[in-house]
Structure 1
Amino acid sequence: MLYSKEVERVLNEKNWLVANQNLLAKMLAEYTYEDMIHPEVVGEDGIWKKYELPVSENKKYRFNAQPRMFDSLDVDAASIEVTVDESWTDAKSAIEFLLDIQPKIGMSAETAGHLIKELNHTLLADAHLLAKDSKTSDELVNEDYSMIEGEMSGHPWITYNKGRIGFGYDDYLEFAPENQQEVNLLWIAVHKESATFQSVEGLASENVLADELDEAEVERFQKVLVDRGLEKADYFFMPIHEWQWKNVIIQTFAEELAKNRIVALGEGEDVYLPQQSIRTFANQTDKKKHHVKVPMSILNTLVYRGLPSERTLIAPRITEFIKGIYEKDAFLKDQCRVILPGEIASINYGHPQFEALKHAPYQYLEMLGVIWRESIYTYLEDEEQAITLAALTHVDKEGKPFVQSLIESSGLTAEEWMKDFFKTVMSPLLHYLYQYGTVFSPHGQNTILVLKDHKPHRLAVKDFVDDVNISDQPFEELSVLTDDLKAVLRSEPPEGLTQFIFTGLFICHLRYLGNVLVRNGIMEEGMFWGLLAQSIHEYQSMFPELEERFHLFDFFPPQLTKLCLNRNRMVDYGYAEGDDRPHASEYGKVNNVLAQYQLTEK
């Protein structure tokens, strides 16, 4: 199939130019933030500063940008020009810019080649978004959580955010979250001698199965086993993604299939929508059924999107740890009323040959498994609406921010709305950190804002298995953790733990939300960050007995270590096949605007 009509509809010169200009503006801003490039101010034009960036002896770029706090830039995409021998023209190619800076930043040809592929995939997806019949921000105000996810445009910081290496164009059209195509999950049976089932206390595999499949489906799947002369009691049933089945499981687990240790059962009847993480699915047939997280061995952003075996195995126990804190803490339970959609059950199936290989590339140790997570819908009360924090940075095609539509619908001023927002989000996150030495990674996908009457009302946090981290300090509150849990959870020194909120939330999300507010005249930048600082101080005033920990996990120093996501792929890690997932690179320091809001010691 040529997909000629789809290609013709999406790939026209106008869309391609806009996609390139937008991506180029993002590259200039983020590579400057990460100190890979160093454009210089050469003049001013009203509220904009004029920058120039030489890339060779006779070639340079120029553009307009507004400096932002945290060493950031807001680049005007329409202003970017390139010159060769002083003849200025509009810059039209993000990948040409990548090639121009490649030797200057020390990026290998191998890395650049792979990155060109990822950037082309990203540009293609961006062209699709430009051609998409999207909802306006005013329409999204009353839209459903899982549908809003499909309106998002990807990671705000990583420039190759829709690389999805491994997808064909047919896979992109069918499975990318922005295309909002409902899918059915496939089901397989896995032999209990090779597969392991884990769950929170009191939840048996039969209970999970009964929640996910009706009796007719279970009987249909069981008949497949009986017809092969296999014992039903010897197997667990688990969902898988169609792409994983066709591209990974059949080929890589062929021996397991030949020996009936893995048996194809058929397609489930429920339909799902992929969420922004691409491998997590929200049930649309019954929205209160579990969200399902399955591995997809595609490379997107920094990592392959599998399910790490060691974390899949302990996912339910991490849920019990996180919820155990909540259940015993009146502030979290009764005042914040924080929502914690737990990863309540999982199945892991390790590949026997790769598990026997010392230092096997990590992607081969996370190819087959499933995690069932409680649906956010089961926690919502009357008139509550859930949105991911990522939605707050969304701007529609008419240029109207989604957050502006929410503020207008709420009847609050922007200052009132943002003050409520910071209190709602920061209080539970800070309490877990200060009181229990435990953090989430509260970036835009993991952190869910629950609205009521379009006002910030409660916080929900998900994805414990990948993103819960603990302090390396000898806190009594962490003594309940067993050695095997500690071995898998990342233990961090004080600044490292603080970074999960500082970088994960402030840099990776609030930096972009603040920019949307400032660029659209909704709020001044100083007020935005001042309200964040105020929310931290207000929390600290409620718990003076934790003062030592306020200094230990300090959000107010003049500088913190700068963590870099693009640099990680482009310069430091490349596309190596290591035995551990790559982590953000550390490079230099970021000037911390919150330092100016530090309270004076009395």
Structure 2
Amino acid sequence: MLYAEQINEVLDKNRWNLVNKQLISKMLAEYMYEDMLQPEVVAESELTAYKLVVSDYKIYQFLARKRYFDSFDVKADSIEIEEDGNRKEAESAIEFLLDIQPLIGMSPETAGHLIKELNHTLLADAHISKDSSLSSDELIHKDYAWLEGKMTGHPWITYNKGRIGFGYDDYLAYAPEQQQQVNLLWIGVHHNRASFQTVQGDNYQTLIDHELTTEEIEIFRSKLETSNVDPDHYYLMPVHEWQWKNSIIQQFAEDLAFGYIIPLGKGKDDYLPQQSIRTFVNQSNEKKHHVKLPMSILNTLVYRGLPSERTLIAPKITEFIKGIYEQDSFLKEECRVVLPGEVASLNVDHRYYDQLKQAPYQFHEMLGVIFRESIYSYLEEGEQAITLAALLHEDAEGKPYIQSLIEHSGLTPDKWIEDLFQVVMDPLLHFLYQYGTVFSPHGQNTILVLKDYKPHRLAVKDFVDDVNISDQPFEELRGLTDDLKQVLRSEPPEGLTQFIFTGLFICHLRYLAAILDNHQLVAETEFWEKLAHTIHGYQKKFPHLESRFRLFDFFKPELTKLCLNRNRMVDYGYEDGEDRPHASEYGKVTNALAHYSLEV
């Protein structure tokens, strides 16, 4: 199949040049932030003119606005190339990557793989550009799960839609922005091969009765009986069709041959993939669980599998997080924070890779499932959920999604942002300061619950991957069991602070500040001042935690700079190691909040 119709609709010269220019501006901004590029300042005014010399005969010139946190807002339409005395617009992100390869010190192997990821990203960007007809005024009325398909990917990582492993047919079928509903496949897995865990009070049967109809259960059990096995000795579990065809059949062929894994058929419910690609929201019944499945594709630094030890421990981590919530009146009654828990999980280890010491981590993450409570089951009358990532969206005409929310809310931009910070920061700070426990509140994990288009409540998800604890001897952490301690990352004070500082401030809020400033909604200086005021406001409510305010200090002049692009491009490359890569540490970032550290 040539896909000629799709190609002709999406890939034309003007659109290709547009998405390339946008990506080059992002590459310049983020590589400058991560100190991989150091262009020369040519002239300074409201916009600073820069030149980047890449060879004796070739120079990139562009305009950028300097932002707080050592960041840059590069203007895409200003980027030009001067080569052999001739000047032209910069219109190829791949050409730019090759030009800067020697400056950054990328190996040919890394550069080659990165070209592949950038081409995948550009193709996806072209699709998104072609299907960007809905305005921000229209999008603010759209549903949570559907809205996820209108997002454009990680704001910081430049190769954010690499999805290595997908063919073009897979892209059209499974990419979130394609918004194609899917039916999950179901298989039977013998109890000797699978491990099941759930929160206290639930069990396997209650889970399956919640997720499948009586008719579906009977059909699947009948298929097991037809295979001459006892259905009571098998777990029913969903798998993604791509994973089934590309990993499970081949890698678990022996288990299929001996009847330990038996294919059963498709479930009836329709699901929409979310930005993470591997998490699915039920469209047939929104109260059913969100389903997180492994997909052995490489995207934004890691293979998108499910680590076996984390899959198994997920329900216990949910009990830990919800246990804090249940006994804390500030979280439960004042913040009314929403915590959609990972309430059940199934994991199937590969019997041979499991015996291989230091096997690449992707081979320990191929077959499993996590069931997470639906965000819809928590929403009250008049509430609407959006991921925090939606606040960074701008429509084809350049109007920010957040501007439309503000206009419909009846609040001033200043008041809307103040309410946003109050809703988001209070529960995050309380978990950190009071309990030495932190989430990674980036744009996908953090859900803003709106009411009348106003910030109303916070929801946080994905506990097993992104909850971390303090290495300090806090009384609140003494009750943690050994199995939880082995899986949850224990971090020193700055390391724990970084999950909010980098995960929220750097990875999300610095982009939001630029959008609001560019559209004259809230000045950048006022934005960060409001954030500092919110943190101080929390601290005034809980003076007994003063020693911990100093321990987890958001007002230090500098913090370690964590880098996401440098990780792939310089430090880690495309090595297939036994551990998932973590963000690189390189230098320091100037903290814009330090100016407000003496506020009383």
**Shared fold (TM-score, shorter chain, > 0.5):** yes
1:599 aligns with 2:585: no
Superposition map of 1:164-203 within 5 A: 164-203=163-202
Q: Deviations over 1:341-388 (max 9, x none)?
A: 000000000000000000000000000000000000000000000000
CA contact (8 A) 1:438 1:471 kept: yes
Q: What is the match of residue 135 of structure 1?
A: 134
Superposition map of 1:9-24 within 5 A: 9-24=9-24
Q: What is the match of residue 442 of structure 1?
A: 441
1:567 and 1:152, CA in 2 relative to 1: closer, same or farther beyond 3 A? same
The whole-number CA distance in structure 1 between the counterparts of 2:97 and 2:227 is 55
Q: Secondary structure at the match of 1:549?
A: helix
Q: One-letter code of the match for 2:334?
A: Q
CA contact (8 A) 2:132 2:396 kept: no
The whole-number CA distance in structure 1 between the counterparts of 2:10 and 2:516 is 30
My pick for the range that moved more, 573-582 or 127-136, is: 127-136
The whole-number CA distance in structure 2 between the counterparts of 1:277 and 1:402 is 21
Q: What is the match of residue 580 of structure 2?
A: 581
CA contact (8 A) 2:175 2:277 kept: yes
Q: What is the match of residue 210 of structure 1?
A: 209
The whole-number CA distance in structure 2 between the counterparts of 1:600 and 1:75 is 33
The whole-number CA distance in structure 2 between the counterparts of 1:593 and 1:386 is 30
Q: Secondary structure at the match of 2:222?
A: helix
Q: Secondary structure at the match of 2:62?
A: strand
Q: Deviations over 1:252-303 (max 9, x none)?
A: 1000100111100000000000000100000000011000000000000110
CA contact (8 A) 1:134 1:151 kept: no
Q: Secondary structure at the match of 2:559?
A: strand
Where do 5+ consecutive residues of structure 1 fail to align?
Answer: none
The runs of at least 4 aligned residues of structure 1 exceeding 4 Å deviation read: none
Q: One-letter code of the match for 2:419?
A: D
Question: In the TM superposition, what is the alpha-carbon distance from 1:153 to its structure 2 partner?
Answer: 0.2
**What is the TM-score of this pair, normalised by structure 2?**
0.99
Q: What is the match of residue 522 of structure 2?
A: 523
Q: One-letter code of the match for 1:394?
A: H
Q: What is the match of residue 97 of structure 1?
A: 96
Q: What is the match of residue 549 of structure 1?
A: 548
Q: What is the match of residue 288 of structure 1?
A: 287
Question: In the TM superposition, what is the alpha-carbon distance from 1:581 to its structure 2 partner?
Answer: 0.3
The whole-number CA distance in structure 2 between the counterparts of 1:131 and 1:519 is 24
CA contact (8 A) 1:54 1:61 kept: yes
Q: What is the match of residue 420 of structure 2?
A: 421
Where do 5+ consecutive residues of structure 2 fail to align?
Answer: none
Q: Deviations over 1:134-164 (max 9, x none)?
A: 4210011111000110100000000000000
Q: One-letter code of the match for 2:589?
A: V
Q: What is the match of residue 332 of structure 2?
A: 333
Q: What is the match of residue 88 of structure 1?
A: 87
1:43 aligns with 2:43: yes
1:241 aligns with 2:240: yes
Question: In the TM superposition, what is the alpha-carbon distance from 1:39 to its structure 2 partner?
Answer: 1.2
The whole-number CA distance in structure 1 between the counterparts of 2:202 and 2:471 is 32
Q: Secondary structure at the match of 2:495?
A: helix
The whole-number CA distance in structure 2 between the counterparts of 1:83 and 1:51 is 13
The whole-number CA distance in structure 2 between the counterparts of 1:167 and 1:219 is 34
The whole-number CA distance in structure 1 between the counterparts of 2:462 and 2:344 is 13
The whole-number CA distance in structure 2 between the counterparts of 1:365 and 1:388 is 29
The whole-number CA distance in structure 1 between the counterparts of 2:142 and 2:590 is 38
1:264 aligns with 2:254: no
Count matched residues: 600
The whole-number CA distance in structure 1 between the counterparts of 2:388 and 2:119 is 27
Question: In the TM superposition, what is the alpha-carbon distance from 1:83 to its structure 2 partner?
Answer: 1.3
Question: In the TM superposition, what is the alpha-carbon distance from 1:133 to its structure 2 partner?
Answer: 4.5
1:4 and 1:600, CA in 2 relative to 1: closer, same or farther beyond 3 A? closer
The whole-number CA distance in structure 1 between the counterparts of 2:598 and 2:336 is 28
Q: What is the match of residue 126 of structure 1?
A: 125
The whole-number CA distance in structure 2 between the counterparts of 1:86 and 1:471 is 57
Q: Secondary structure at the match of 1:589?
A: strand
Q: One-letter code of the match for 1:191?
A: H
The whole-number CA distance in structure 1 between the counterparts of 2:243 and 2:156 is 27
The whole-number CA distance in structure 2 between the counterparts of 1:479 and 1:188 is 40
Question: In the TM superposition, what is the alpha-carbon distance from 1:520 to its structure 2 partner?
Answer: 1.3
1:8 aligns with 2:8: yes
The whole-number CA distance in structure 1 between the counterparts of 2:529 and 2:546 is 21
Q: What is the match of residue 590 of structure 1?
A: 589
The whole-number CA distance in structure 2 between the counterparts of 1:600 and 1:29 is 32
1:350 aligns with 2:349: yes
**What is the TM-score of this pair, normalised by structure 1?**
0.99
Q: What is the match of residue 59 of structure 2?
A: 60
The whole-number CA distance in structure 1 between the counterparts of 2:67 and 2:87 is 27
Q: What is the match of residue 451 of structure 1?
A: 450
Question: In the TM superposition, what is the alpha-carbon distance from 1:86 to its structure 2 partner?
Answer: 2.9
Q: What is the match of residue 278 of structure 1?
A: 277
Q: What is the match of residue 312 of structure 1?
A: 311
Q: What is the match of residue 485 of structure 2?
A: 486
Q: Deviations over 1:216-274 (max 9, x none)?
A: 00000011110111001110000010000000000010001001111000000000000
Question: In the TM superposition, what is the alpha-carbon distance from 1:484 to its structure 2 partner?
Answer: 1.4
Q: What is the match of residue 33 of structure 1?
A: 33
Q: Secondary structure at the match of 1:55?
A: strand
Q: Secondary structure at the match of 1:63?
A: strand
Q: Secondary structure at the match of 1:210?
A: helix
Taking only the aligned residue pairs, the percentage that are identical comes to: 67
The whole-number CA distance in structure 1 between the counterparts of 2:314 and 2:425 is 24
Q: What is the match of residue 510 of structure 1?
A: 509
The whole-number CA distance in structure 1 between the counterparts of 2:599 and 2:328 is 30
Question: In the TM superposition, what is the alpha-carbon distance from 1:406 to its structure 2 partner?
Answer: 0.2
CA contact (8 A) 1:26 1:159 kept: yes
Q: One-letter code of the match for 1:23?
A: L
The whole-number CA distance in structure 2 between the counterparts of 1:134 and 1:207 is 43
Q: What is the match of residue 253 of structure 1?
A: 252
Question: In the TM superposition, what is the alpha-carbon distance from 1:37 to its structure 2 partner?
Answer: 0.2
The whole-number CA distance in structure 1 between the counterparts of 2:83 and 2:138 is 45
The whole-number CA distance in structure 1 between the counterparts of 2:510 and 2:92 is 26
Superposition map of 1:552-571 within 5 A: 552-571=551-570
The whole-number CA distance in structure 1 between the counterparts of 2:51 and 2:70 is 17
1:199 and 1:525, CA in 2 relative to 1: closer, same or farther beyond 3 A? same
Q: One-letter code of the match for 2:29?
A: A
1:534 aligns with 2:533: yes
Question: In the TM superposition, what is the alpha-carbon distance from 1:85 to its structure 2 partner?
Answer: 2.3
CA contact (8 A) 1:53 1:61 kept: yes
Q: One-letter code of the match for 1:498?
A: T
Q: What is the match of residue 221 of structure 1?
A: 220
CA contact (8 A) 2:536 2:599 kept: no
Q: Secondary structure at the match of 1:571?
A: helix
Question: In the TM superposition, what is the alpha-carbon distance from 1:403 to its structure 2 partner?
Answer: 0.2
